[in-house]
Amino acid sequence: TDIDDIDKQRTKRIIEELNRLSHTTYNLLENLLDWSTSQMGDIKFSPEPLNLLSLIRENVELVKSKIDLKQINLDVDVPEDITVFADENMLHTVIRNIITNAVKFTNDNGRITISSRIGNGFCYLGIADNGVGIGNDRIKKLFRIDKDIVTPGTHNEKGSGLGLILSKEFVERNGGTISVESEINKGSTFTISLKLA
């Protein structure tokens, strides 16, 4: 209402905050829709061969503005020839959620590393950060919908806790697993296993 009286700097700050809020709301809405659809059993499951690196690049692009804002160093060490057998929409949701979380809990000028290894017919994708970390008591509650463990990010970013619950459900639907190792103030590593095509 006071747009004519607000200086340029303040206008810029308000627009940046609106942008951040709209991204958060959009992400939450996507997760809620995915989760509710999966609970009703209506979600389509169509596994197919997928290039893992392409999927990672697409999802990194979605959070690039947040990575740049925090000046996070991002290393992707995934060979171009890895093809996994999974449902594309589900895998997008999983990778997006885990990368978004890594960015959220990494401090300014921190580091995120995305790497992979192959073994026993699976690709193990690791997304590691050197951020705030998670205590053992909270790790046990991470993938449970009956536990409320929402924690604000290093820039006070909000979340719902639904992203990881959904990720676990989708990874398991694709015949894989998800696990986390973490230490307070040293960071976290989320590892998902995916069937090789």
Hey, which of 18-22, 46-50, 65-69 has the most confident mean pLDDT? Answer: 46-50
pLDDT tens digits, 100-146: 999 999 999 999 999 999 999 999 999 999 999 988 888 878 877 65
In angstroms, the CA 168 to CA 179 distance is: 9
Q: What is the pTM of this model?
A: 0.78
- 31: amino acid identity, one letter: N
Is the Cβ–Cβ distance between 88 and 49 less than 8 Å?
no
CA 175 – CA 197 distance, rounded (Å): 12
Residue that wins the pLDDT comparison between 74 and 3:
74
What are the counts of helices (DSSP H) followed by strands (DSSP E) for the chain?
6, 7
pLDDT for 173 equals 92
Give the pLDDT of residue 5.
Answer: 80
What is the pLDDT, as a whole number, of residue 159? 59
Q: How far apart are CA 158 and CA 138, in angstroms?
A: 17
Q: Which of 39-43, 46-50, 147-151, 159-163 has the lowest mean pLDDT?
A: 147-151
